[in-house]
Structure 1
Amino acid sequence: MTKTRITNPFKPSAGHLPPVLIGRDIILDDFQEGLDNGSGAPGRLMRITGARGTGKTVMLAEFRRMAEQQGWQTISETASAGMAQRLLEKLQPKKGNLSFSFEPSISVMSMGGSLGGVHYEKSRMPLTLRDAMSERLDALEKHDTGLLVTIDEAQAADRDDMVAIATTIQHLTSEDRNIAFVFAGLPSMTSKWLNDDVMTFLRRAQPERLGDVPLAEVSQAFTDTFAGTGMVLKDTPLDLATQATAGYPFMIQLVGYHIWRVAKRHHPQDASITVTVEDAEAGVRDALSRLGDTVHGPELDGLSPIDKTYLLAMAQDDGPSSTSTIAERMGKDARYASMYRMRLIEAQVIEERGYGKVDFAIPYLREYLREHAAYIRMTTGIVE
């Protein structure tokens, strides 16, 4: 008889569903209510924001799973050039020699060509995309189902693509069609798209900000998930694992994955494994190493040299930093430094901690900055 192979239940990679979606019950319930309550329900138009590693991609994947369970069709895209065209192709594939095209720029057309130079702007994409979605919905609604469209990394979308998609969704929503639209991205997408006069419709999207998970929920999730694979994680090893996550969703996956892997390697012959303190400590070390490569490094890569200067000034403190002290360390006045403080708060890299105080919002970023300070200064041209 073949022995069943037990695999690591944790999935610390982008977009993979974790074994337990802890701390997200309210958001999931809102989306489910949106599906149940019909066109116009708040949960059918939603925007998800959060820093890297807070689980935005995972939430979109779970929304698609929930919708598909109810017979809905789903279409997902990650924002990049040509996104609207790709959506169109997924909605209505080519038939014979008939093709569909997308003109990404707004075309300016003359009325009659000789009427005193009167012009108007016409975006052809929303109409084309609208027709394609309408045709798909015509077929779905006959069976009392609908269409869910999800967009990930929306802060990176081309404006023409977002105008096309937002306009299409707006028209279909006003027609009470059975459609849902969820877009997710870094916090910067909020100011980028919601303040665009052409896309005011997106301001109606229900905002959901993904933050840290309460440690009590993390602890219970670890206990249950390890037990589900025949391992025991309790007492001091459980406390070490829980505290190491700081409630950060991606770190929960990393810590769980590496502790489980270490324990399995240390006790390969044991039928029932109880995680030791040594297992937990080794797993946490491995998780911290991976966190720097997968979260801290990419996060810093997207920041300006002055943003990084601000963070390096903060990293000199063991806890919350005084904004006036940061400005002094940067050699700038408080007003100048405050512009970068607001930028970093909006990006959810740092957070306010009372009047005149800020701290890191991403776990272990302080330690990463200290370890890599010389390299960061050298590669960005920062001069002290």
Structure 2
Amino acid sequence: MSFPANPFKPTAGVMPPVLIGRESISLDFREGLEDGPGAPDRLMLITGPRGCGKTVMLTELGLIAKQQHWDVIDETASEGLCDRLIARTAPKPGKISGATIKPTFMGASIGEIDIAPALRPASLRDAIVARLHVLGKGKGLLITIDETQDASLEDMTAISTAAQHMLRENAEVAFVFAGLPSLVSDLLNAKVLTFLRRASIKELGDVPLDEVRAALASTIRNAGITIDDKALDLATRATGGYPYMIQLVGYSMWRHARRRDGGMDRTILEQDVRVGVEQSRAKLGAGVCAPVIKRLSERCVDYLKAMAQDDGPSSTADIARRMGETMSYANGYRQRLLDEHVIKAPVRGTVDFAIPFLREYLRAEYRSDDGEA
């Protein structure tokens, strides 16, 4: 008997077979829907670094809402976000607070409306009210917005204003925003968005390794595949608890085991894990780390290379010394990297990588003759 289909899903935003380490968020959201208007988890803000599973989490919450017979509108922040939400939320073509939504073969057209900023809060609010009226009693509307850090302040002001009115009126609505960790400070500190400070904030970090091990074991063994404890431990450690890496390692070792001898022995061996880990690191580097490095200036990369010499947070003074520059000069690149969400400042005078495995990638790519990054 050959291997079954690979259950691991390392594609961005695709639901994995097991949502590892995020069960409490799902439970909070489900209870928020069941508890009715006013429940705090009907306004949620999910933050975390790239690849931590924010998009997957939004998909999971959308599935929960659909199980409760709610409508779900998913959007990703970019230019025209609020106008797209209005067009998608309105239940049918027509007039919504000064905006004519033109019909197409798909229903309300997207991108064919252009509403003045001052009218957008009322337009979105009217569109939501109309949608709820069509849905009827006992049903609601969930709006999720991914990559919220890329939304314009004007769009977020309009959306938060409309959301505030709807929640204040005890409407059957929920809003979930997801974005990079800077979203908390960038948006919540804006005076016009003080309403979002009441959001239930969920920070997605690394998954505890014991939970990773249990999830890998159950996914593999429930599929009728054998893996011994040594191979399982090796795979677990290699993930570092990083959700994207969990899926990459699982997918790659599964594929190598299946190809090794046609998969007839239905066993994942230690050699399969080692090859899978090596392939996963290469894919992570090419898919996540390399694009980040490519868009940075040479001196920004030098700053990161200086950081990569440390196993943990780096002293900004040490980085300036390694770069052969003054603190003032080096801090200019520090600020650029902070603005790009590539690094973070956990404690005053220190910086650390905000993107998991970027340190390891830099060490491998920029290894000098003496073995240091």
TM range (shorter): 0.7 to 0.9
Q: Contact 2:157–2:193 (CA<8 Å) still a contact in 1?
A: yes
Whole-Å separation in 1 of the counterparts to 2:93 and 2:312: 62
**Range 246-255 or range 323-332, more displaced:** 323-332
CA contact (8 A) 1:212 1:249 kept: yes
2:69 is aligned with 1:71: yes
Given that 2:91 and 2:134 are in contact with CA atoms closer than 8 Å, whether structure 1 keeps it comes out as no
Aligned pair partner of 1:130 in 99, 102, 125: 125
**Distance in 1 (alpha carbons) for counterparts of 2:336 and 2:309:** 20
Structure 2 residue corresponding to 1:51, chosen from 36, 49, 52: 49
- Whether the aligned pair in 2 keeps the contact of 1:84 and 1:161 (CA below 8 Å) is yes
After superposition, the Cα gap between the structure-2 partners of 1:41 and 1:243, relative to the gap in structure 1 and judged at 3 Å, is same
Q: CA deviation at 1:247?
A: 0.4
Q: Of 59, 63, 72, which residue of structure 2 is paired with 1:61?
A: 59
- In the TM superposition, residue 34 of structure 1 has moved relative to its aligned partner by 0.9
What amino acid is aligned across from residue 163 of structure 1 in structure 2? T
Deviation of residue 103 (structure 1)?
A: 4.0
| 1:36 counterpart = 2:1 | no
Q: CA RMSD in A?
A: 2.7
> Could you tell me how far 1:276 is from its partner in structure 2?
1.1
Q: Which residue of 1 aligns with 2:370?
A: none
Distance 1:337 1:33, change over 3 A: farther
Residue 93 of structure 2 aligns to a residue in which SS? Answer: coil
Indicate conservation of the 8 Å contact 1:292/1:368, yes or no.
Answer: yes
Q: Distance in 2 between matches of 1:316 and 1:5?
A: 42
Shift of 1:188: 2.6
Mapped contact 1:105–1:160 kept (Cα < 8 A): no
Does the alignment pair 1:312 with 2:313? no
Alpha-carbon deviations, 1:26-65, whole Å to 9, x = none?
A: 2112111211111121110011111100000000000000
Q: 1:334 deviation in Å?
A: 3.8
Cα distance in 2 between the residues matched to 1:4 and 1:144: 47
Picking from 129, 151, 155, the partner of 1:161 is: 155
Deviation at 1:363, TM superposition (A): 3.6
Are positions 1:150 and 2:144 aligned together? yes
Corresponding residue for residue 257 of structure 1: 251
**Is the 8 Å Cα contact of residues 51 and 187 (structure 1) preserved in structure 2?**
yes
Contact 2:226/2:267 (<8 A) preserved: yes
Shift of 1:206: 1.2
Matched AA of 2:225: M
> Do the aligned partners of 2:253 and 2:273 also contact (CA within 8 Å) in 1?
yes
> Which shifted more, 225-234 or 348-357?
348-357
How do 1:50-129 residues align onto structure 2 when only pairs under 5 Å count?
50-92=48-90, 95=93, 99-100=100-101, 102-103=113-114, 106=117, 123-129=118-124
Shift of 1:267: 3.0
Which residues of 2 match residues 1-384 of structure 1 at below 5 A? Answer: 6-92=4-90, 95=93, 99-100=100-101, 102-103=113-114, 106=117, 123-140=118-135, 142-268=136-262, 270=264, 272-301=265-294, 307-334=300-327, 337=330, 349-350=342-343, 358-373=351-366
Amino acid at match of 2:317: S
What TM-score comes out, normalization by structure 2 length?
A: 0.86
Which residue number corresponds to residue 377 of structure 1?
none
User: Could you tell which deviates more after superposition, 54-63 or 320-329?
Assistant: 320-329
In the alignment, the residues of structure 2 paired with residue 105 and residue 96 of structure 1 have an alpha-carbon distance, to the nearest angstrom, of: 17
Q: Which amino acid aligns with 1:217?
A: E
CA distance in 1 between partners of 2:242 and 2:94 (Å): 50
State the alpha-carbon separation in 2 of the partners of residues 181 and 11 from structure 1. 27
**Taking structure 1 as reference, are residues 96 and 143 closer, same or farther at Cα in structure 2, changes over 3 Å only?**
closer
TM-score, reference length from structure 1: 0.83
Structure 2 unaligned spans of 5+: 102-111, 368-373
**Identity rate, percent:** 51
> Which amino acid is 2:315 matched to?
S
Number of residue pairs matched by the alignment: 354
SS of the residue corresponding to residue 38 of structure 2 reads coil
1-structure distance, mates of 2:145, 2:319: 37
